Amino acid sequence: MNINGAQMVCEALIAEGVKTVFGYPGGAIMNVYDEIYKQDGFEHILNRHEQASVHAADGYARATGEVGVAMVTSGPGFTNAVTGLATAYMDSIPMVVISGQVPLSLIGTDGFQEIDAVGISRPCTKHNYLVRELSDLPRIMKEAFHIARTGRPGPVLVDIPKDITAEFGNFVYPKEVSIPSYKPTYKGNSRQIDKAIEAILKSKKPLLYIGGGVVLSDASDLVRKLADMGQLPAVETLMARGVMGAKNPLLQGMLGMHGNYSSNMAMSETDLVISLGARFDDRVTGKLSEFAKYADVIHIDIDPANIGKLVDVDYPIVGDVKRVLEKFITGLEGKINPERYADWREVLARYDNLHPQSYVDSDEVIKPQWAIERLGELVGEQAIITSDVGQHQMWAAQHYPFDRPRQWINSGGLGTMGFGFPAALGAKKAFPDKTVINITGDGSILMNVQELVTASEYKIPVINVILNNHFLGMVRQWQTFFYEERYSETDLTFQPNYKALAEACHGIGYDVTTKAEFDAAIKDAIAKDKVAFVNVQVARFENVLPMVPSAGALYNMMLPKKEEK
């Protein structure tokens, strides 16, 4: 097939089964957009900012497990995409981003809209390519998708000079990928697995420490099975919410800086950490020397560089957590006795009784935690929840009853404000029949607010629940605790009219100040086929608790006041 480079890009996307591309055209990528106009193999969504395109592709990938695709032009188009790449990179999200580049002859001349995309994106992509020969393009597209979705997933950038997209050549899309230097390990070392199984059988206080890798590997059912077999207590990281299911009695909750009491105490007292696709992030561990101090560590991770990076590991297992768990389950079948850990479960139950995840509700003002819990009651299992970054994100992670993996979509590693709304668009494109709700704050929502237009144009009716405390709440909370209440640049009293803003962009807005209005607004928003802003006035000075002050030990938590009875 003799076609030009732009057509090759489209053909490759179709061959990869891509249904939706999120993007924004511009000079250097115009040839590709010309071919997009002519084809009908995939849909293109025009976001109103390149960052949103990449987050939308990311949200699509997180909701489906497939590779998300975004397309941008050179220069500012690409630099706007960088935050999206970095967000996906930190959370290991499979994504291919295609960027236009100035023609080969202009590279290095400071041409109009020229920037070194490969140089800038090197530390925030799994891999990247500058296409220098048209004949390399089919192979590079094939490799990009392969690298994005295999091993530890991640975003891959393909930067294509404009003259290459115009040039004609023979197109044969490769069936196989051959990258001799790239061979991820999937199968765990069986000797290490046997030793780890022995360690579980010998331990008295084992703890499943579940990370986002379990979601990426689609291994949640196996984790639930393993937990069930041994009645093993489990804690989830922010990225793993939904793996165990909120109703599972073995789930202690989320651990870390804003983890609940029994989760953090479980980690502090366990004698065997069974780490499943988690990476011992500083927001999880707190002070490293006090983290899981009495425990041996089994660390299962597909990325060998994660093992031993921060914590000494006794049983390192490099492999896909799904495959390793299959072996664990076979190895433990008939041997593991749930009774052995009964005392340990008892201890944790007592901890949870002592300090359950709680807040003091109010009749005068909506508490943000109440709003999340109520949302859970109203839409629960069937909704996909995305979030931005800050207090609302932590409250959502703490209080929403997540029942399944991929139900909870947030920027955990990079902590990108402005992620939630475009990610919700991506999730809703993938699952048009599900209610998709972005839990956001009055700070975050403005960072990609232009997506109101995208959502309206393409009829992607996602609901943004703005927990509005007229503050950059998380920074304000730190200022309260650690900066003697000097609220430097965190007061957001000056606000847009959120209802009018949504309506100006052909969406629908609700102002909510009471619990009754909250219910009514959510129900109405679900019934309407429009993008919605539900602007909820919440208690201004509410703090996210428990909290482990930065660099403190996990067991030293600031706890919420108990409700007076």
Among 27, 104, 107, 127, binds other proteins (CB under 8 A): 127
113 catalytic residue (yes or no):
yes
- Supply the minimum distance, in Å, between the C-beta of residue 182 and other proteins: 5
Q: Give the C-alpha separation, 312 to 295, whole Å.
A: 10
441: CB partners within 8 A, 6+ apart? 388, 390, 391, 392, 466, 467, 468, 469, 472, 473
Residue 380 gets which letter from DSSP? G
112 catalytic residue (yes or no):
yes
142 catalytic residue (yes or no):
no
Q: Which stretch binds other proteins (CB under 8 A): 68-76, 124-132, 207-215, 548-556?
A: 124-132
Nearest to 318 by CA among 186, 121, 156: 186
Question: Residues 307 to 326: which contact other proteins by CB under 8 A?
Answer: 308-309
Identify each DSSP E strand in 73-149 by its residue range: 95-101, 127-130
471 catalytic residue (yes or no):
no
Instruction: Give the nearer residue to other proteins in terms of CB position, either 130 or 474.
Output: 130
Instruction: Give the nearer residue to other proteins in terms of CB position, either 154 or 212.
Output: 154
2 near other proteins, judged by CB under 8 A: no
Backbone angles phi, psi at 491, to 5 degrees: -80, 115
- Supply the minimum distance, in Å, between the C-beta of residue 324 and other proteins: 18
289 near other proteins, judged by CB under 8 A: no
- Supply the minimum distance, in Å, between the C-beta of residue 129 and other proteins: 9
Instruction: Give the nearer residue to other proteins in terms of CB position, either 304 or 380.
Output: 304
Q: Which stretch binds other proteins (CB under 8 A): 165-173, 176-184, 217-225, 438-446?
A: 176-184
162 catalytic residue (yes or no):
yes
Residue of 95, 474, 547, 557 with catalytic role: 474
- Supply the minimum distance, in Å, between the C-beta of residue 131 and other proteins: 12
287 near other proteins, judged by CB under 8 A: no
284 near other proteins, judged by CB under 8 A: no
| Residue 165, H or E segment | helix 162-166
**AA identity, residue 240:** A
Among 41, 119, 356, 432, binds other proteins (CB under 8 A): 119
* Three-state DSSP class for residue 51: helix
Nearest to 534 by CA among 399, 400, 435: 435
- Supply the minimum distance, in Å, between the C-beta of residue 118 and other proteins: 6
Which token pair is 325? 């768990």
- 3-state SS of 435-465 is CEEEEEECCHHHHHCCHHHHHHHCCCCCEEE
Q: Give the C-alpha separation, 212 to 59, whole Å.
A: 15
Q: Give the C-alpha separation, 552 to 153, whole Å.
A: 31
Among 163, 282, 290, 303, binds other proteins (CB under 8 A): 303
136 near other proteins, judged by CB under 8 A: no
Could you tell me if 529 and 542 are in contact, meaning their C-beta atoms sit under 8 angstroms apart? no
Among 2, 109, 181, 493, binds other proteins (CB under 8 A): 181
Q: Would you please indicate which residues are annotated as catalytic (active-site) residues?
A: 50, 112-113, 162, 474
The residues binding other proteins (CB under 8 A) are 118-119, 122-123, 126-127, 130, 132, 147, 179-182, 303-305, 308-309
